[in-house]
Structure 1
Amino acid sequence: MKKTILPSLNTLITVLLVFCFSSCDGIVEHNKKPLASEYENFQEINEHYHSDNFEVKLFCETQVSSSSSPNPIRIFPSVNNQLIVSCDAEKNEATQGDMLYYKIKSNGTVEDTLHLSQNEYWPEFIDGFMVFTNNDKAFYTTWPQNGDTTRLMVNVLNADLSWSEEQVYQKIETVKKDCTYWFFENVTNNEHYYRQFFFYQDKQWQMVWQKLPEYRSLDSSETANRYRNNVFRTGEEDPYLPENVTFLHFHPEEKLKYSHNIGGGNPGFSVTNWRGKAFFKTKIGDRDFNFFVPHIAVEKEKFDGFKDRFYTVLAASYPARTFRPSFYISPNGFAFYSSNSQNMYIIRKKESAKTDH
């Protein structure tokens, strides 16, 4: 008769504990292979990033959620070879709608900041001007070009609505042909419909009221937004990499099950996949900037030609979140970076790196 060998009590306990912990944290499998040596010195993008070539600092952050404002931090070019960073400054009900503006010099340093309460007016950036409008009044400043926040009143030409319809029409058509800057704003007052026609002429901003028989929506070519070109926005939900980022390597750490929430009334679905560290690079100035991101799952499918799609998975059974490492890279040796809606980092080349070739 053969002797039956039973596992020891300690072995059974060990097996049960491993099974229990794996089941409790939702991890299906762990990867035992070490990280490839060439990626050991890669770092996460935060204020602890240490490099001989670059310095990384948190530039701005906001508490506005992506659901209420999907792109709460934005960057757009301004006059004098500068950039303007606009950031939602809301922290509580008292600051709801407030905005912070940073004027960035060509070397990546902050020249000026402006905090505005949005209780009455909404500013429009038009090259060297900020034009503030509401349903009744309007003023402008020259803060973008010289930092001056003095309120200069818009000259209203027909405040009493005494102009004929033909006079208003002729003035608008003439201005459109002769002036560089002009735009419309719609106003509704006690079921009466108006348009405010703003324009810059004779070194001042002016406005003409136009009464309308019915409400007319504005075309994008008629609004002030056409003068502002956002070149960067936080919170962009796109699982594919931007063109200025290269995917280098994925190091799997644990296999787990997570979900995708589609939204819009459509049912979600679950995926079992590896989660780990993703390694990337971009180029800032003439140097490579390397970094890694933890808790990343990479997916590929036939429907998009097996392109890499990136998701953040914080824990098993949690919904995956789209991951996109977004950079605005200046030709002057600095960059802005964000991978979520609520904060943005600035990355600058160190002076020693600028002169060391």
Structure 2
Amino acid sequence: MKKILLILGAVLLLAVIFLYNFGSLDVYLLNRMNNSRLPEEYKGYQDIDTSKSISFGHHEIKLMWESFDPIQHFINSDGEVIVVTSEIPKDRDQKEIEDDGAVGSTRFYKDYHFYKLDKNGNIKDHYTYKSTRDNWCELLYGDFIVNYNKKYYKTWIKNGDTIRKPMVVQNEDLKWSREEQMNMYHTIVEDAEEYLRNSKGGSEEQITYYMHGRWYQLSTNTKLSDGIYYPKANPGYHNSLFGKDSFESERKELDPNRFPNIMPVYFQRRELVKSTSSASGGSISSTSKSWKGDLYCQLLIKGDTLKFKEKMSFDERFTTEKFYQTKGENIRQLKAELEKKYLPYFYFADRNLNFQLFTTSQNKLYIIKPIK
């Protein structure tokens, strides 16, 4: 009898070990043990993921834009903020829309909305560009909207004009000599304010550039340079007032405590979950646990404090293990590392503007204004 009990006990122990390691018993037990209650001082924090405006002191914050692509924003030469959003069209042939992007990830049919804000954050102008497979390439270059495929540009950013203006086309018939092409290319590299090289296949290229107050496009069919090509200007895909590394996977250049007026003050664990990542090539799949919860933060603006919370998840993997182990007010000690690793929020202010920009997602943009 004693031997039978020992065998049953061993089997039970093995079953518990198996369930703990492979059957999510550990997750069940840790969730049962997670009985911490939110301290009273944090119960009044507002969920930032809302379309309603939130008032705090003499200010209010409101979600102004949501976008299919990451929202772009920059300041033009007149000190006006330009915001660019995108959406999948609702007023065009829906069969074309559904088929678009079905193979691969490229979507050509999109509506791009350009907004111009005055110094008080009010929309003073709006322009919509309807992208198609035939015309999908309007890029942002400083005060210009440029389409190198169709050889035109627009000056809406500067003066509200949406009329297409033709570029000066050079060597379109490719009859220039190699020496003429090389001389022109060197002039562009040295003197052009903006330029972009676009390969046409083989040795053929198009160089779109801005020089002496005009836009040009040079066609070439000769090897222009060796090595890696670095454009003089950003071709308008990642304009962000939050910094050039905003939401990028490589964040080595992010400054510690880059938002000194924002402080994470508490992390409330809600649920522990276990996930399995499938492996390819015969490799072993891996499992990991994550704490899902709410990150409580404070944003200080001119004596007023926005107390908000947002959803956050911390994984137990090596590079994020310290966040996984952290709970409650201990999150405050990891402010700089949290901002670098998780990018939980972004904030922009300028002394020439009477409003601020804020976000917790690259596809959303909030405006903070004084309450009148």
* TM-score, length basis structure 1: 0.69
User: How far 1:247 sits from its partner (Å)?
Assistant: 1.5
* Greater relative contact order (Cα < 8 A, sep 6+): 1
* Deviation for aligned residue 1:350: 2.5
Q: Counterpart amino acid of 1:269?
A: T
1: CA distance, partners of 2:191 / 2:249: 41
Whole-angstrom distance in 1 between the partners of 2:125 and 2:86? 17
- CA 1:83 to 1:31, structure 2 compared with 1: closer, same or farther past 3 Å? same
CA shift digits 1:45-87 (9 cap, x unpaired): 123353243333332223x4xxxxxx53232333212333222
Call closer, same or farther: CA 1:290–1:166 in 2, change over 3 Å: same
SS in 1 for 2:218: strand
Does structure 1 conserve the Cα–Cα contact (< 8 Å) formed by 2:240 and 2:246? Answer: no
Structure 2: stretches of 5+ with no match in the other structure: 1-24, 98-107, 327-340
1:309/1:111 CA distance change after superposition, 3 Å:
farther
**2:47 matched to 1:37?**
no
- 1:328 alignment partner in structure 2: 347
Of the candidates 55, 60, 71, which is equivalent to residue 55 of structure 1? Answer: 60
Contact 2:192–2:209 (Cα < 8 Å) also in 1 = yes
More helix by share: 2
Alignment partner, residue 360 of structure 2: 338
What SS does the corresponding residue of 1:184 show, helix, strand or coil?
A: strand
- Please name the residue that 2:11 is paired with: none
**Counting strand residues as a fraction of each chain, which structure ranks higher?**
1
1:209 corresponds, among 190, 210, 219, to 219
- Report the counterpart of residue 124 of structure 1 in structure 2: 139
1:163 is matched with: 176
- Shift of the 175–253 alpha-carbon distance from structure 1 to 2, 3 Å rule, reads closer
Residue of structure 2 in register with 1:257 after alignment: 273
Local SS of the residue matching 1:99 = strand
Contact conserved, 1:275 with 1:297, CA < 8 A, in 2?
yes
CA drift of 1:127 comes to: 1.4
Partner residue, 2:118: 105
Kindly tell me the number of residue pairs found equivalent between the two proteins.
Answer: 302
How high is the TM-score relative to the length of structure 2?
A: 0.66
Distance in 1 (CA, whole Å) between partners of 2:237 and 2:364 is 24
Would you say 1:196 and 2:216 are equivalent positions? no
RMSD: 4.0
Partner of 2:160: 147
Provide the C-alpha distance between the structure 2 equivalents of 1:344 and 1:221, rounded to a whole number of angstroms. 29
Tell me how far apart the structure 2 counterparts of residues 263 and 242 of structure 1 sit (CA, whole Å): 37
Task: Give CA deviations for 1:149-179 in whole Å, capped at 9, x if unaligned.
Answer: 1111001132332221111211222233333
Q: Distance in 2 between matches of 1:158 and 1:236?
A: 38
- Residues in 2 aligned to 1:98 and 1:251: alpha-carbon distance in whole angstroms: 39
